[in-house]
Copies of this chain bind each other. A is one copy, B any other.
Amino acid sequence: MRDNGLTIGDLAARTGLAVSAIRFYETHGIVQPVRNAGGHRRYGRADIRRLSFAMIAQRLGFPLAEIAGHLARFPAHKALTAQDWAEISRGFRGQIEARIAELERLRDKLDGCIGCGCLSLERCALYNPDDRAAARGPGPRHVIDAD
């Protein structure tokens, strides 16, 4: 008997996510299922929306931590409204535009450098030490996705 609510398997089938991924997202606070008598997770409809949102945001290139941050602003079991979505989306748009702009700058510099062949660290516009300094700390550097 389904008690009430969806099982993690149901959710996986509906969203296309792996069961393990959904559990992982839970550790990041993206969903917060309740437990039934046997200790199994039970989800509500709002959770489908939350996961859908997370998947879309990931497609847009945003890290889970940031996505979780956005979702944290809304009650765990309340569904996201069109309002909420529009509000978050506008922020996304700005960041996408920024990434496009950065790539265009790089492309233009590259155009200027093709044929030059200097590869000089002092003179090549493509090599800008300041930009590299921005990426600090250990771990993998997300080269281009800066910010």
Contacts and interface: CB of A to CB of B under 8 A. Distances in A.
Nearest to A93: B110
A49 to B, nearest CB: 5
A127 interface: yes
A23 to B, nearest CB: 15
B93 A107 contact: yes
Contacts of A118: 82
**Stoichiometry (number of copies):** 2
Interface in A84-100: 84-86, 89-90, 92-93, 96-97, 99-100
B85 A110 contact: no
Nearest to A116: B82
A126 interface: yes
**Residue in A103, A116, A129 with the greatest tally of chain B CB atoms within 10 Å:** A103
Interface in A111-127: 111, 113-121, 124, 126-127
Interface stretch (A1-9, A11-19, A33-41, A68-76): A11-19
A49 B120 CA distance: 8
Contact of A16 (B82, B106, B121): B121
A98 to B, nearest CB: 10
A25 interface: no
Contacts of A115: 82, 86
